[in-house]
A and B are shown apart, each in its own frame.
Chain A
Amino acid sequence: MRMFISLRQWLRRGLFVLVGLLISLSLWGVVTAGQAQEITITNTATAGFADGAGVPQPVVTSNATTVRATVNPSELVIIKTGDRASAEPGDSVVYRILVQNTGQTVITDLQVVDTLPFGTKYLANSGRAALAGVPVNFASPPSQNGRTLTFSPVTTLNPGQTLTLTYAVVLTPDAIRGNGRNLAVANGNAGGLPVVSNPATFVLAIRPGILADCGTIIGRVFVDKNFDGEQQPGEPGVPNAVIYFDDGNRVTTDSEGLFSLAYVVAGTRTATLDLTSLPGYTVAPNLYRIEQNSTARMVKLSPGGLARMNFAVTPTFQEGQR
């Protein structure tokens, strides 16, 4: 580091004194976080002046003085995880925070501040802290202020010690408007100096759950033997039949002739049976309902609702014609 200070104001007043200060600080030894370090501070002063005519005179440099000092860095590391990767409104999520003192200084007045995801609520009395398996009390009951949740465990954290903090939150319906990301920071006091940890984040994938406005479509493709459009015992499902939906989804039936499609946007949905995927079969006549004499089905899917699309087929004698 090199610093040179010139005070022109003083020069104009004819004062001859100008102090330039040069401090060079060199660190010896390998720099590693959390280790006590021996450092040497070298200090050199320089001075110069200008005479009355304003002509600068040569600068003189003092001798170097050195100070040797031992530095004990203080450091807090925080890690945060949740018990699930995704949740939906109504679920409770248990968060677990590890605060570790990786420095060399005893940390007091430890405080963990968690900025919760939008639409989550601290579950009262769910906060627990423990140090090496021994429960730790809180100075005051953990409280939520807006999205900020503050824990102040009554403990000091010695170098190398780890505090475990668990608590639970409940997802409110508002959660689906947020992004599910929260941010925890620990801070404390290391011998009179404040120390702040890294921020830890955890992202929870928020599924809409019962608040979803998507529905589910289920259905089946089967060999209809009494031409009523319903599957009775003795009417086997047809595997590998292809159904195209109006949004381009292509769904194939399983070995039992069943299919389902989740997260279908609610509204009027149509789908059609691809007869080329069923060599030897075509749509069965329906002797009971005229509208089922078609390869296409239209259902009205309410938000979060369930709708059926059943396709009855029968052995054909004229493929590809209908």
Chain B
Amino acid sequence: MRTLSAYLTAAALLLASTGTFVPVPLAQAQAPTALRVIVNSHQDGAIAPDDQLTLREAILIVNGVLSVEQLSLTEQSQVMPISGEVSRIEFNLPAEQTTIELISLLPDLIRDGIVIDGTTQPGYGRDPVINELPTPKPVVAITPRPGVEVKRGLTITANNVTIRGLSLYGFTGDLSDPTRGEFFDLRGWETRMLNPRGLHRATATVPPADIFIAHKQPPPDITKQQPPANFAVYYPDDFPARNVVIEDNWLGFPPVLDENVRPVTPATRSAFGVSVFNGTGTTIRRNWIANHDGSGIITAVNAEQLLVTENVITGNGVAGMPDAIRLEGKVNQAKIAGNLVCGNDGSGVYLFKPEGAVAIENNLLTHNSRRLRRAAIYLMGSQHQVTGNQIRNQTGPGVVIMASPRSVGNRIQNNQFSALEGLSIDLVQLHQTQVYDYQRGDGPNPPRDSHNRRKDTANAGVNAPRFVSREFYALGTQVGSAANMALLAGAEQATAVEIFGTADPGTEVELYRTIGEDSSGYAPLAESLGTVLTDAQGKFKRVVTGLRLGDRISATATHPNDGTSEPAATAVIRSLDAQPERATSPLASVPRCVTAYVPPAPPAVEPEPPVEVPIRIQVPTRIHFALDQSFISPLTARVLDRVAEVMLKNPALVVDIEGHTDPRASDAYNLELGQRRALSARNYLIRKGIAPERMTIRSLGERQRLTQGSSRLDYARDRRVEFRFRDARGLELIVQEEDLQIER
């Protein structure tokens, strides 16, 4: 490891040899002048003293790199000193020219306290656009010029920077095109490094994102990291950016919504939304983060005290890291509260080997894991708190806690679950580390049979409570007369039920009403009915009111040190004489992530005339593929257009997209191929404007062939994607074979 003096010498040499490396005069750096810079042009290009002040010039000015004297007089009139120490970039773009198209990476924001405020643009409204987000639509949009690769929108390497009211989209690196990005990347380090002779790039580019928060001179700049740090990711003087605020932005899509109030997918999707690469105390609030190839919010090195609140995070993870919020690295005291996380391809929140404890509170996570079967919230590590969340319509379990790395003391209380494919809370046991365990857990655990289960199971293997019986009887007999009982049964209202059971001593048992059918004896925890402490023998007893006959109940136990258990096997509430009513199943709802905000001002809004339901709508249920291929042929595209048309007209339609293959090749390969086929069909429909939360991808491989034969025609029929509509009422499902592709 280098000594400090050697390091300082190296830095001094670097400064001496490259005079242009740090152009900021030292005196100016010590006494910064706060400036207000108004961007009045949507152009981007070289720095020139013309009559247009571009965003690039504005950033260089507030960074202190470009002095005001280097501007033209017209431009100087847009720059004015203000009191205080905080420089501001404001916008006054012409009305029809509010999209700033970048030709290269913008300079990093290197001065503390810079505010880039898109809400200053004339025309920035006051009313929200959707009910879920109290933020008006941004006006100023920043995106790469079409055909140009720009990896990052804004790179923040200073403290207390605020980004407000902007739309950023289209920032990604193209992994497949060998030539793009060669000529426009002014900094160009990584293209030179990775692309020495214009060969194709074998790896990812360094992390791209709409907004990237890191220490000064982050990758791909490694001039300060020669050689790389030995015992940490970066050197100790690479301080993370502190207290950056990202608010009221729309990330990942242009500030345009379609008629269904859905964000429009841009021609080039952004890679990641907000990448908190190395920044502490970051606040991300009231943003709409949608339609990214990778995660909406991702952390890497250090994201301690991250606050993610009141955001709407929809439709992310389409082609890469599938989880909406992915937390890695140091995340101590991070808090994710009050967000809507909907229609993403993976987990809502996935913690991958984090350091530190996270609080996940009062979020609504629904319709996630569209592409990969994962838990809505996947936890590794200890002392996390998951409270007050609503988790619905998940194609996986609710909360999974991994056993390896050791995870203990995670509290999951007072959440509401419904429509899961798995347990509400799943503790992985026996140090299991299979692929499934890292995605959707291992199912119900047996009771702890050895002290070793405390070591090899998540949350120290705290036992799920057990009811003394699978049936509890309403205390209706105490009411007295048979007439009263009849009345009681008619109202399906049980006055009070006394619940008995056992759990680990010293735990707090939380009783839940469950919802949905349970063939396995478990059901999603729908609603908390209150808590009760166990006695020294682990017994608990509580009278619960407000239950209806036929309701099913479950419970979890939370130990102060170990954390929360898996849910108990359910018990049913019966009356002594009446037959139990079947518990209600969750309401089938139209999957919509966001709803349009209707301004309350015009009082006389006529109710919309009821949409006429067409008698029969023909919709194809099958598309076909070529041998060992998953691309959409032109003929298939025509079929898919018909599917898209029907789905656009019927917003309540929900579909499972199942990929199938012919029986040749291995089972595992065919499962992958089926997945690719379903994925390409899904992605085509997303392009056509179908919301991702309405589609679930499944792959069946060769398990459900359509035919029995082995002719080429049979195989061609087997190679298909089937659309299984959840509610096909009013639909005429037709089988078409016009896009059949028979191998030659």
Contacts and interface: CB of A to CB of B under 8 A. Distances in A.
30 contacts: A225-B301, A226-B219, A226-B234, A227-B206, A227-B219, A230-B228, A234-B232, A236-B353, A239-B438, A240-B434, A280-B294, A280-B322, A280-B323, A282-B175, A285-B194, A285-B203, A285-B205, A287-B189, A287-B190, A288-B227, A288-B228, A290-B193, A314-B207, A316-B320, A317-B172, A317-B319, A318-B175, A318-B320, A319-B319, A322-B175
Contacts of B227: 288
**Which 8 interchain pairs have the tightest Cβ spacing?**
A317-B271, A317-B320, A236-B353, A317-B293, A228-B228, A280-B321, A317-B294, A255-B404
Contacts of B174: 318
A255 B196 CA distance: 36
Given A236-B352, A293-B194, A317-B271, A287 B328 contact: no
A293 B206 CA distance: 12
Most buried by A among B204, B225, B294, B353: B204
Given A284-B204, A287-B193, A290-B196, A255 B320 contact: no
Interface residues of A, number: 39
Contacts of A288: 222, 227-228
B231 A317 contact: no
B201 interface: yes
B421 interface: no
A279 B317 CA distance: 11
A209 interface: no
A281 interface: yes
A28 to B, nearest CB: 63
Interface in B697-736: none
Given A239-B438, A287-B206, A293-B203, A315 B193 contact: no
B629 to A, nearest CB: 14
Given A226-B228, A233-B231, A285-B204, A318 B319 contact: yes
A277 to B, nearest CB: 8
B-side interface size class: 35 or more
A315 B433 contact: no
A170 interface: no
A276 B672 CA distance: 9
A109 interface: no
Contact of B229 (A232, A240, A284, A287): A232
Interface in B154-177: 172-176
B232 A232 contact: yes
A317 B317 CA distance: 8
B435 interface: yes
Contacts of A255: 404-405, 431, 433
Given A276-B672, A317-B320, 16 more contacts: A223-B328, A225-B301, A227-B220, A233-B232, A277-B435, A280-B317, A280-B322, A282-B175, A283-B204, A284-B203, A285-B205, A288-B222, A288-B228, A294-B202, A316-B294, A317-B204
B237 to A, nearest CB: 14
A38 interface: no
Contacts of A254: 433
A321 interface: yes
Given A234-B355, A287-B219, A315 B206 contact: no
B330 interface: yes
A283 B203 contact: yes
A256 to B, nearest CB: 8
A295 interface: yes
A254 B405 CA distance: 11
B329 A234 contact: yes
B298 interface: yes
Contacts of B330: 234
A91 interface: no
B450 interface: no
Q: Which of A240, A277, A281, A317 has the most CB of B within 10 A?
A: A317
B229 A316 contact: no
A235 interface: yes
B326 interface: yes
Q: Which of A288, A315, A322 has the most CB of B within 10 A?
A: A315
A316 B204 contact: yes
A225 B300 contact: yes
Contacts of A279: 322, 372
Interface string A222-248: 010111101011111001100000000
A286 interface: yes
B222 A315 contact: no
A254 to B, nearest CB: 7
B385 interface: no
B193 A285 contact: yes
Contacts of B233: 225-226, 232-235
Nearest to B277: A225
A297 B320 CA distance: 24
Contacts of B222: 227, 287-288
B725 to A, nearest CB: 27
Interface string B650-674: 0000000000000000000000100
Contact of B321 (A226, A230, A285, A315): A315
Interface in B626-666: none
Interface string A255-281: 100000000000000000000110111
Nearest to B318: A317
B234 A315 contact: no
Nearest to B292: A317
A277 B435 CA distance: 9
A315 B326 contact: yes
Among A226, A234, A277, A287, chain B packs the most CB atoms within 10 A around the CB of: A226
B328 A318 contact: no
A288 to B, nearest CB: 7
Contacts of A235: 233
A258 to B, nearest CB: 12
Contact of A287 (B220, B294, B321, B372): B220
A232 B321 contact: no
B230 interface: yes
